[in-house]
Structure 1
């Protein structure tokens, strides 16, 4: 069977409703091959864009490190705060990522040799995506500690927010019963059994503070008796100590809740800003590849 080609009209038997007709093409083989070549991916151009984009980002980051270090003066107290320095570092890193994506996208689009702007843009976007995966790998892996030193310097204030937030939540909630243990340890008479009396008193106080509201009064009375017996003090003094422990426990719990809310908000904000930075980098890579598209070559036929 010979192939049938229909010129520019696109009128084929299948388009006229004959579903049993063979698949035919309205273009010539040369035109079809040209379309495939125009839209074919050039991985060499993509990898070149990755290299240029990463190097550009490293250079811009090193400039930021130099500027940031120049603003610090250990001899005086007139230095930017930790929060301000972290925000500045995060903004600079985001800008360097966008400019690096633009440079890498332009390189990938130009070296792809594609005259079609959309194809060059896709080369730029692919280059950005691959570069992003490389950066994530370098920062998150053990190799990142050696190869990605420049990235770790600037991203430590931003990229570690999630880990620091979890640590902050744990560190912000000290054991509210540690002060009770210290008080009992120093107040219990030497001839008594300090461990047994202390443990019994602490268990009673813990039950009174963390138990349900229905048995709160009974648990409180039991805790006051345990404190009085453990320290050999009157009931009134033991009641005053219990009230102090209760206020301390309530304050510690509130502080832990506030710290958890702050850490959660910090993680959420950092994640959203990170996503925004990546989106802007992708847009920059797309338009960088579009700007890098080569000018089409037009062949003119001279009629003799």
Structure 2
């Protein structure tokens, strides 16, 4: 029996035989390639429009949150929210407003691009979110960002300022209990020592507490003798006072070192937590942009029937 062929589509052919019908795929035509390129082509004009809308929405929501937060303060009373509460609330509001802005920007970009494929529209929304994020990061790390949002620009400098944070945290402990100054005050406690003898005793005890362990015994003997000469007391009594002064110095240095370590741990924990939260917020923003772009895709019926009809009516 002879074969009978009929056209199924511009690119495919259905071959009918006695055993049944077989679909034979033909090579894509030039019109098919052009159609694929058109439905997947990036519309940068639509993306920039989505970026503009997303930035404006972000600014509007940030101003709204700021206004609501300031309105809750009452200067006439002390019953106001704590600063930590404001920081947490501001962070949550900033993340939520970023998600809303990413969704709206992605929706606008996909809708204005006129794409009818859901994945293409979603990619337009994701690209809109990416460009918006880059612009926001640039603003936060530039002088313009310092004027617009100085509160959030501190995140970028937090990592580099870890050493200064440690020093500032440990500074009060060192300022309130300077070990060498306390040592000098203890030596001059009587107020009747000759200046030369007092200076000799101070220098001897300084050499003891700042020296190495190899010559510590000899340094203790010299410090005790110098203190005994300065105060006119027996050497054994001076040795007890030197031991007490040395112990206080060691304890003060240990406390200062512990304060610095705690400050470093606190700063590192805060930076780590902030980085993780920022990562989560960015991922959620990308998801919001993707969903916004997917929601903004033009339905094929609207694109193929409604729009041409309007053009013919015009």
TM interval, shorter chain, is: 0.7 to 0.9
Aligned to 2:39: 38
| Aligned mates of 1:60, 1:279 — CA distance in 2 | 20
Which ranges of structure 1 fall in alignment gaps of 5 or more residues? 1-5, 10-24, 300-304
| Aligned mates of 2:225, 2:259 — CA distance in 1 | 29
Matching of residue 269 in structure 1 with residue 267 in structure 2:
no
Aligned to 1:131: 132
Q: Shift of the alpha carbon at 1:229?
A: 2.6
Q: Shift of the alpha carbon at 1:88?
A: 1.1
Query: Is contact 2:220–2:239 with CA below 8 Å preserved after alignment?
Result: no
Query: Is contact 2:125–2:292 with CA below 8 Å preserved after alignment?
Result: yes
Aligned to 2:150: 152
Q: Shift of the alpha carbon at 1:287?
A: 0.5
- Which runs of structure 2 are paired with 1:261-300 in the superposition (5 Å)? 261-296=265-300, 297-298=303-304
Query: Is contact 1:89–1:157 with CA below 8 Å preserved after alignment?
Result: no
Relative to its length, the structure with more strand (as a share) is 2
| Aligned mates of 2:99, 2:74 — CA distance in 1 | 30
Q: Shift of the alpha carbon at 1:33?
A: 0.4
Matching of residue 143 in structure 1 with residue 144 in structure 2:
yes
SS in 2 for 1:66: helix
CA RMSD of aligned residues (A): 3.1
Q: TM-score, normalised by structure 2?
A: 0.76
Matching of residue 181 in structure 1 with residue 211 in structure 2:
no
Partner of residue 170 from structure 1, selected from 157, 167, 171: 167
Which ranges of structure 2 fall in alignment gaps of 5 or more residues? 1-9, 14-25, 232-237, 306-314
Q: Shift of the alpha carbon at 1:228?
A: 6.4
Q: Shift of the alpha carbon at 1:75?
A: 2.5
Q: Shift of the alpha carbon at 1:184?
A: 4.8
Aligned to 2:108: 107
SS in 2 for 1:133: helix
